[in-house]
Amino acid sequence: MKTNELINVLAEDSGPARRDSLFLKLAVAALVGLGVGVLLVVFIEGVRPDFTQNATQVALKATFSAVFAAAALPIAARLARPGRSVGVWVVAAFAIGLVCVLVSGFMMMPPVENELGGLVGGVVPIAFLIIPALATPAAIVIFSWYKRNAPTRLALAGASVGAMSGGLGAMAYALVCPVDDMGFVSVWYGAAIVLCTAVGALVGPRILRW
């Protein structure tokens, strides 16, 4: 096809473009992803039996997780446009935030578990495995929305989507998680979100290409 013909076809097809905010659309995708995660966890595990007595702790854990998802949201929305990147300082701030959470959580843990051996040699808690699993539906929803846009920094975009999904998965898991110790939560929720971010950065360049 001649380029001029293509241009005519495209112009005929034009019509007003959708102009709603990418940020809002991404937020909606995130909510859908969260919804699927919550349904999944409630369906499989059921809400923890002592939910009503411990609503405050659950809310605290959910908020902790929501902070990560909320922090990654504007970054992901920005990266959805071509030619947009984020400064090194944004990535650094996010990384430093995560490290602080991990370290402070590590120090808050009960003394026995505070031994390095308790962490490294011990059994990996189920939270660390379930959170990424619950993040997967959220990641699928967000990635498939994201593909309709035009990110040009695919690894960064993938990482931001991974961090969002990780935060959302952790929010869903907070409904069933029986442990209320914030040290545990900081370390293992944090580690799970780090894992999700890393996976996102790895798969981003593969699945976000357009």
Q: Which residues bind other proteins (CB under 8 A)?
A: 1, 3-4, 6-8, 10-19, 22, 80-84, 149-150, 152, 209-210
CB of 144 to other proteins, least distance (A): 16
Cβ nearer to other proteins, comparing 22 with 91: 22
Both tokens of residue 165?
């999904």
CB of 25 to other proteins, least distance (A): 10
Neighbours of 47 (CB within 10 A): 13
CB of 141 to other proteins, least distance (A): 19
Cβ nearer to other proteins, comparing 2 with 52: 2
Q: Which residue is it, tokens 């967000």?
A: 142
Question: What's the CA gap between 106 and 104, in Å, rounded?
Answer: 5
Cβ nearer to other proteins, comparing 18 with 117: 18
CB of 137 to other proteins, least distance (A): 25
Neighbours of 199 (CB within 10 A): 19
The dihedral over CA atoms of 100, 101, 103, 104, expressed in degrees to the nearest 10, equals: 100
Phi/psi at 84 (nearest 5 deg)?
Answer: -95, 135
CB of 109 to other proteins, least distance (A): 38
Cβ nearer to other proteins, comparing 149 with 186: 149
Cβ nearer to other proteins, comparing 86 with 191: 86
Neighbours of 57 (CB within 10 A): 19
